[in-house]
């Protein structure tokens, strides 16, 4: 399906140190995924997008293209020049027959908020009209593309008070809106009698707080892969040139979340449990909350090796 990564730090990083240079960078993941369930969809070549913020409480910038990330010269040039403390990046593989167009490339933006998604809403075409009907006129008119992901963003925006006019939101407010979005999507799917599994790995930020989820509408299977790493600095070692998360002290100055680890240092990366919401606060505290609903299973995967869906 897709791959995404997000980076938040106290110090800006050159985009190339996330997007192009690491051994398993998101550019490498666009054509060389390691965690696959759909063996017939091995490429994430239906466009890409990067989003970043220059300063807190200011609107971020987004660059998208329908070209594959690995062959876009402008992406390579920008990555060697742009630095940011907060970065979103996404490589796309289309689902549900949606068109390859810039309006369908992640991430999307509304005011200070930025959103991306890895996965799919199963049976989206059966609840699309309900999703649209639930929206305020302003948010409905802001939808530019045709994807389930952008419609999920619109539903999320509809859960917030004045999402366009405000420059910041509390992490608790964004967390509650994310949970309400998932709950509402599940309600519509249940009402429509949809049996197809949905994979809802969402990520949203206002430029200061980040909220993301690893979620599946199934109580037995593992969700689409999602990992995080934290430490004092994400950089390359001088002698070997290999990238890794450096832990020079007990402080967390950097947090990276990615569909697949960017490096082959297994000790640097922790899997986010299935059906869990992760919050990165403005002060870089990492908090995880179980999403306890009809698909929550505290014993998931304990009795036998769990089947994992990576997309």
CA pair distance 100, 128, nearest whole angstrom: 19
Of 46, 39, 49, 38, whose CA–CA distance to 197 is shortest?
38
Using alpha carbons, list the distances in angstroms from residue 134 to 139, 154, 156, 217, 282. Answer: 10, 10, 11, 22, 31
Retrieve residue 88's tokens.
Answer: 């979103």
Indicate which residue of 2, 33, 212, 311 is catalytic.
2
Retrieve residue 24's tokens.
Answer: 């398993």
Retrieve residue 167's tokens.
Answer: 């420059």
Query: Angle at Cα 106 formed by Cα 262 and Cα 13, nearest 5°?
Result: 45
Look up 2 and say whether it is catalytic.
yes
Retrieve residue 179's tokens.
Answer: 């949970």
Alpha-helix residue ranges (DSSP H) falling in the chain:
16-19, 26-29, 73-79, 124-133, 137-142, 148-158, 171-191
Q: How many CA atoms lie within 13 A of 229 on its CB side?
A: 26
Retrieve residue 89's tokens.
Answer: 């990046």
- Cβ–Cβ contacts within 10 Å for residue 216, how many? 22
CA pair distance 263, 251, nearest whole angstrom: 21
Write the DSSP assignment of 113-159 as a string of letters: EEEEEEEE-TTHHHHHHHHHHTS-HHHHHH--S--HHHHHHHHHHHT
Query: Active-site residues: which are they?
Result: 2
């Amino acid at each position: 399906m897709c791959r995404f990564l997000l980076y938040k730090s106290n110090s800006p990083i050159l985009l190339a140190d996330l997007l192009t240079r690491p051994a398993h960078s998101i550019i490498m993941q666009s054509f060389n995924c390691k965690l696959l369930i759909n063996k017939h969809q091995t490429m994430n070549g239906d466009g890409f997008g990067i989003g970043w913020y220059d300063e807190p409480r200011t609107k971020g910038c987004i660059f998208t293209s329908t070209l594959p990330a690995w062959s876009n010269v402008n992406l390579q040039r920008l990555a060697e020049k742009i630095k940011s403390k907060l970065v979103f990046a996404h490589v796309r593989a289309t689902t549900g027959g949606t068109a390859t167009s810039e309006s369908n490339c992640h991430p999307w933006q509304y005011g200070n908020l930025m959103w991306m998604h890895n996965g799919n809403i199963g049976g989206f075409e059966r609840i699309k009209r309900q999703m649209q009907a639930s929206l305020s006129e302003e948010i409905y008119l802001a939808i530019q593309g045709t994807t389930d992901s952008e419609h999920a963003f619109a539903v999320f925006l509809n859960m917030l008070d004045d999402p366009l006019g405000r420059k910041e939101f509390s992490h608790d407010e964004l967390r509650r809106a994310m949970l309400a979005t998932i709950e509402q999507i599940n309600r519509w799917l249940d009402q429509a009698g949809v049996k197809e599994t949905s994979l809802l790995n969402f990520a949203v930020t206002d430029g200061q707080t980040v909220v993301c989820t690893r979620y599946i509408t199934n109580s037995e299977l593992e969700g689409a892969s999602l990992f995080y790493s934290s430490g004092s600095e994400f950089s390359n070692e001088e002698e070997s040139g290999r990238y890794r998360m450096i832990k020079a002290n007990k402080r967390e100055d950097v947090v990276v979340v990615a569909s697949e680890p960017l490096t082959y240092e297994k000790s640097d990366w922790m899997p986010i449990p299935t059906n869990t919401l992760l919050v990165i606060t403005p002060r870089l505290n990492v908090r995880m909350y179980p999403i306890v609903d009809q698909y929550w299973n505290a014993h998931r995967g304990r009795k036998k090796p769990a089947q994992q869906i990576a997309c």
